[in-house]
Amino acid sequence: MSVAYSTFTLGNVLTEEQQSFFEENGYIHFSNFLTPEQVQEIVTASEEVQEKWISGNVEKVNGVPVKYGKDLDGQPIVQRFAFINQHTRVLSDLLKDNRLQTLLQLIGPGARIGENEKDGMVLNHYVNGPESTFTKMGWHTDGLRDIFLHGKLNPMLNVGIHLSNLRPENGGLRIIPGTHKQNIFNMLFRKRYFVGHKPDKNELAITPNAGDLTVHDGRLWHRVAQSNVIGEASRRRVIYVPIIAGKYEPKHENSPTLLYQRLAGVILK
């Protein structure tokens, strides 16, 4: 299977071409969603949150474990922030961008941005260094969580807001276009969840520039490839925000840590 890699511009309305591309492939890539200045403002805000969480020994946010690691100089860093939108105005304001509301059309009636559900707005900070604990992620679908928790699959999209320039050698998101149309059996058993990292002959490397936005369907098989380069050139940051439908299930400070979240601390390395 071969998919021509296309990029689009996100406005206040999705075009028929954009909707058709997403429906066929299960993903879409929009260029220049953020300006370079906005990207830097977000990076700076995340570093401020990181300083607070490290000094405060924050272990969980709304029941979701914080993933810590070491930077290239050996200093502690946060490598996975959950609900970061609740801890800095810069990122809570980002969710008010009207263009994000446009993406709700990809699900339809009842769709919403899950800023207080799932893991909220997540910011992942990857760096390939000798002490990093977060350099890659194995094959998975985002829909597994709903099946695990509810026994049924609810519509879900994952919106990625990219804060780094990526080429294939930098690692990053790999998807198998079209797998959002698969049956439940293939969604559950086509790959070894999280522990399988082997490239797929049909996978596509998502290669955004800083400021780009991507969307992928929660049923789509995808992984995060490890960078083939080490050091500063391997550093990449990306935000993920869920668009969901179904029962409203907000998280709060007393929310429990779920089994798959405890397991993630072991297998997501």
What confidence score (pLDDT) does residue 25 get?
96
The pLDDT of residue 269: 40
CA–CA dist 69, 180 (Å, integer): 33
Stretches where the chain sits below pLDDT 70 are 1-4, 144-153, 258-269
Query: How does pLDDT run across 39-86, given as a tens digit for each residue?
Result: 999 999 999 999 999 999 999 999 999 999 999 999 999 999 999 999
Residue type, 213: L
Whether residue 46 contacts residue 161, with contact meaning beta carbons closer than 8 Å, is answered with no
Q: What is the pLDDT of residue 244?
A: 94
At residue 60, the pLDDT reads 97
Question: What pLDDT is recorded for position 44?
Answer: 98
- How many angstroms separate the first and last alpha carbons of the chain? 30
DSSP H or E segment with residue 22 = helix 16-25
Which superfamily, per CATH, for 16-268? q2cbj1_9rhob like domain (2.60.120.620)
Domain residue ranges of the chain, discontinuous segments joined by + = 16-268
Question: Is residue 26 within 8 Å of 16, Cβ to Cβ?
Answer: no
Question: Would you state the pLDDT for residue 193?
Answer: 87
How high is the pLDDT of residue 130?
Answer: 87
